[in-house]
Structure formats: structure tokens, C-alpha cells
Structure 1
Amino acid sequence: MFEVLVFVYENYWRGDACPEPQQLGRKLTAVGFEADEIKEALHWLDGLHLASHSTDLARATALPPAASMTLPATDSLRLYSVAEQDHLGAECLGFVSFLETAGILAPVMREIVLDRAMAANGNPVTLDDLKIIILMVYWSFGEEPDALVLDELCDDASDRLAH
């Protein structure tokens, strides 16, 4: 599935530039992806679209006080469930915490990243797969992370030389 997501990210500048699922599915089939991978990726992308669209809608409308409580506050503390800890693992949760502490990942985006990571296969999800998920969340909002963040998300850390 992640190879399909990388292809979509690289070939469609923003989430709103991506074709409808049926047309995208035909394009992915023509490129040579397996039907199961395409189906899984389209389902995952549908969840991403729903999450980002719901967030945009909540931001654009005046929500009643009870509804606005569903959006995390910027100063809130996020506690991870046992299922999240098991599925994401310490490395991924540490990376999410790093991005959030650095001010790179807003709480609303963090929640979408966690939701989409929980919807992904892998137990635990690998850090490379999490980085793709983070890129896709930025992509769905039509935003591109700054150059240093993009480098961190796209760079293969195994090639780095420690000093």
C-alpha cells in the first residue's frame, strides 16, 4: 500500500489535484500496481480525505462549544492508548512527539496522523511508513512541510554517518 501512496504523493501535487477514486484506481492499475494494494490504498486515502475534510469544515464553521471540544487544543497533553502504543511502537511515537514539540505537527494534524497510522498495516508500523503517512497528511491539507522537515521525512536515516 505504501508504494501506491508514494506514487500518488509524487504524481499529484495536492490532495485536491488527485482524481476521483475510480479514475485513480484505473491509473494505478495501468502503472502496474496490484489490485489488492490499490484497493487498500484507495480505502486508506478515502479515510484521509474524510478526516482532513472534516477538520477543514470544523475550522471554517462556527462550532458550538460542545462540538469544538473534539478538536485538540494546542496546549493539550496527548496520552496514547495501549492499542496505539502497540501498533505504533516507541520509535514512531517518539518521532511524532519530536515533530509536535518542534512545532512542525499541529495537534489536529497529529490526530489525523495517528488515525491513519492506526488504519495502516504493520505491527508495529515502521518509521519509514509513518513518515509517508505524515507526508500524506500534509498533502491532504495542500501544504508542504518546510525544506528541512521534508528532508527529514524523505531521507533514509540508515545512510547517515554519526559524528
Structure 2
Amino acid sequence: MKENVIDVLLYLFENYIDSEDSVKPDKDALELELEQIGFQEKEISKALDWLDSMTVLAGEQPSINASMRMFMPAELEKLDVQCRGYLLFLEQVGVLDTDTREIVIERVMALETDEIDLDQLKWVVLMVLFYQPGREVAYAWMEDLVFEDLEAVIH
């Protein structure tokens, strides 16, 4: 089974992070469960490190007042025009502010993939918003967008 860090993150998010269940498994139990499902140890470790970094970023709100975002060459390679346009859209409608946009871009760049598609970007945005204090309304709005898109694909 060839899985990547994004797949592990999606599994964790869908099954634990956004769960109403108050009982969360400890790290060792979680790693064991993920290995039993078929995720590779290396990818599990990277995903858990990615989430640990998210909690650090949530407490370190940068203050960016730039009116226009210029993407670095590596960001242009990883985020295609559709993804960059979607980030701009989310910023224009108020789901992302400049600070959360930068966290999303930083988290995307931390993923060890050459490219990220729009669906994966939406999940990263959702995960980032989940960890940002005071962004509950934006999270709920984004959650609706992600799950409406999923329902459209299923039907």
C-alpha cells in the first residue's frame, strides 16, 4: 500500500482530530493502529511531526500586512494556478486572513510531495483552521465546502 503523509493526515483528521469522542488514543496506540491499517512507519512519523508543528504555529501568529502575496519558485511548483487562485478566493471571502494564509502555505510546503492538488489543499486549509483560535466560523464554513465537494463526488 503506497500511502503518503497527506493520506495519514486525512485519516487522522477524519477519525480523531475532528471527532466528538473525548477519548483520544495516546501516541503509541495511534502509531500502532496506523501501522496495522497499512501506513508506513516513516509516513506516520512525518504526519505526527507535521501535526506537532501545527500546534506550535497556532501559538505563533505572525503579523503580515502585505497587500499582495508573491509566491516563491518552490511554492509555484507545489501550488498550481488553481490552488493559488483558491487561496486568493478564500482570503477574499474572509475564510483566510493573511496570517492563516501564510500558515497554510507553510504547512503545504512542509509536506514532502512535489505537488498538491486542490482537494488536498482544501483539507490542509481545514486542518490549519481547526488549530487556529478564534477561527471557528471560518472553520465551519470551510468544513461545509469540503464536505459538500465530497458529497458531489459521491453522487
* TM-score past 0.5 threshold: yes
The residue number in structure 1 matching 2:112 is: 121
Percent of residue pairs bearing the same amino acid type: 31
The residue number in structure 2 matching 1:96 is: 87
Letter in 2 for 1:72: I
The residue number in structure 2 matching 1:45 is: 51
Within a 5 Å distance, the mapping from 1:2-81 to structure 2 comes to 2-10=6-14, 11-13=16-18, 21-22=27-28, 24-55=30-61, 70-73=62-65, 76-81=67-72
| Greater RCO (CA < 8 Å, at least 6 residues apart) | 1
| CA shift for structure 1 position 158 | 7.2
Change (3 A) 1:108 1:148: closer
| CA shift for structure 1 position 23 | 5.0
Cα RMSD, aligned residues only? 2.9
Letter in 2 for 1:12: I
Unaligned stretches of 5+ residues in structure 1: 56-69
Matched, 1:106 2:97: yes
Cα pair 2:94 2:138 within 8 Å, conserved: no
Unaligned stretches of 5+ residues in structure 2: none
Mapped partners of 1:83, 1:52: distance in 2: 23
- How many residue pairs match? The answer is 144
Change (3 A) 1:28 1:141: farther
Cα pair 1:88 1:118 within 8 Å, conserved: no
TM-score of the aligned structures, taking structure 2 as reference length: 0.75
Structure ID, larger Rg: 1
